[in-house]
Amino acid sequence: MRSTSITPASMFFRGIGTATPSTRYTKAECLEAFERSDWYARLDGRSHWVARTVLQHDNGIEARRLAVDSISDVFRIDPNTLIQRFLAHAPALAAKAAGHALAKSSLAERDIGAVIVSTCTGYLCPGLSGYVVERLGLRADVQAYDLVGQGCAAALPNLQLARALLVSGECEHVLSVCVEVSSAAMYLDNDPGVLISACLFGDGAGAAILSRDPAAGGRIIEWIDSTSLIDPSKRQALMFEQRDGMLRNILTRAVPGLAATYARRVLDSVLDRAGLHVADISAWIMHAGGRDVLLALEREFGLEARDFRYSAAMLREYGNLSSAFIYFAFEAALADEAPPGWWWISSFGAGFSCHGALLQVSK
């Protein structure tokens, strides 16, 4: 592997874990439930056409996990129902993913010095971090941080904060968690972006254990360098707004192009510092906003579909998991024993923001 002049970041991945609700719904089941729901009559003919187009054709997604006992429950859309759905499922999913990551790390609960939890699909006070501390039995003096409002991009800022805590000497081991209950941020109206959004997102959580030192044996995964980019002038392209006491997702046609353009700028910035090129990356772990986003990334990066196979596979089975998605793609790459060398991990979303990190992975 080519050496770099970058100062080692002193952060290593010790374990990755994920969790989803047990209920799996295909897009055909989602369309059938929509057509049976009261919402079908409330929305106009164009909205019916949009929903059928997205859910009957290849949109890169075949199924999603949703935190409801019946698909018909998805269409119970009111503020009280949605916040109760978030409260019932976000802590459980976050703790389950964290438990899986911890089990793979060879560490005990008492070893964790800080926990960082990101979400954008619900709000709790006290925050989700306290629920994770409680459910995992972490020690009382653990540093706990709740990050909100970063949308699909949140995983990388979460990991960047973990690195800062480790490098500063604040702690030896950090638990990073992203959890999204997208079914608790459901909103429907005749806006095509709102409808498409409702057809894309699923529920799930991802977690990672980060440490100053690698675990003995197994793969060594070191965080080498990262950077971020935010363009507030593009905020209106992708964001949540509050309407009628609920979160309403704004999704525009500009998103795939913005994601690809900014993702390339972030990538080039880090690769230039490292003296590397796109061809040097042996594994790509990318947030997949949707099929069109992956296609735009392929064009912008000059890569083939197989290069983003982990993101595409997770999108097909789980849908867009927002901030949690990166952990699923990461776990898939590890399970597939992706080749060692330089790995690239990147997330993007509301803001408009984009983040990327260069990892060095041993066999």
pLDDT tens digits, residue range 11-40? 999 999 999 999 999 999 999 999 999 999
Domain boundary among 191, 211, 231: 211
Clarify whether residues 202 and 248 are in a common domain.
no
- Does the residue 5 lie in any domain? no
Q: pLDDT over 70 for what percent of the chain? A: 98
Residue with more model confidence, 2 or 249? 249
**How many domains does one find in the chain?**
2
Whether the pLDDT of residue 216 is over 90: the answer is: no
Whether the pLDDT of residue 8 is over 70: the answer is: no
Q: In the prediction, which pLDDT does 239 show?
A: 93
Clarify whether residues 264 and 345 are in a common domain.
yes
Q: In the prediction, which pLDDT does 3 show?
A: 35
Q: Which of 128, 57, 53 is nearest to 96 (CA)?
A: 128
Strand order, beta sheet including 143-148: 143-148, 114-119, 173-180, 204-211, 12-19, 221-230, 353-361, 341-349, 281-286
pLDDT tens digits, residue range 171-183? 999 999 999 999 9
Whether the pLDDT of residue 6 is over 70: the answer is: no
Contact 320, 60 (CB under 8 A): no
Clarify whether residues 19 and 87 are in a common domain.
yes
Whether the pLDDT of residue 255 is over 50: the answer is: yes
- Does the residue 6 lie in any domain? no
DSSP 147-198: EES-GGGTHHHHHHHHHHHHHHTS-SEEEEEEEE-GGGG----S-HHHHHHH
Residue 10's pLDDT band, with cuts at 50, 70 and 90, is confident
Clarify whether residues 188 and 236 are in a common domain.
no
Q: Tokens for 313, please give them.
A: 């596979």
CA 20 to chain centre: 12
Domain boundary among 211, 238, 257: 211
Whether the pLDDT of residue 91 is over 50: the answer is: yes
Q: Which of 224, 358, 199, 353 is nearest to 291 (CA)?
A: 199
Clarify whether residues 231 and 164 are in a common domain.
no
Rounded CA-CA distance 84/81 in Å is 5
Clarify whether residues 181 and 221 are in a common domain.
no
Clarify whether residues 155 and 184 are in a common domain.
yes
Clarify whether residues 26 and 84 are in a common domain.
yes
pLDDT tens digits, residue range 93-138? 999 999 999 999 999 999 999 999 999 999 999 999 999 999 999 9
Rounded CA-CA distance 179/324 in Å is 6
Q: Global pTM?
A: 0.95
Clarify whether residues 277 and 172 are in a common domain.
no
User: 281-286 and 246-251 as β-strands: parallel, antiparallel, unpaired?
Assistant: unpaired
- Does the residue 193 lie in any domain? yes
CATH of the domain at 154: 3.40.47.10
Q: In the prediction, which pLDDT does 243 show?
A: 94
Print the domain residue range for 45.
15-211
- Does the residue 8 lie in any domain? no
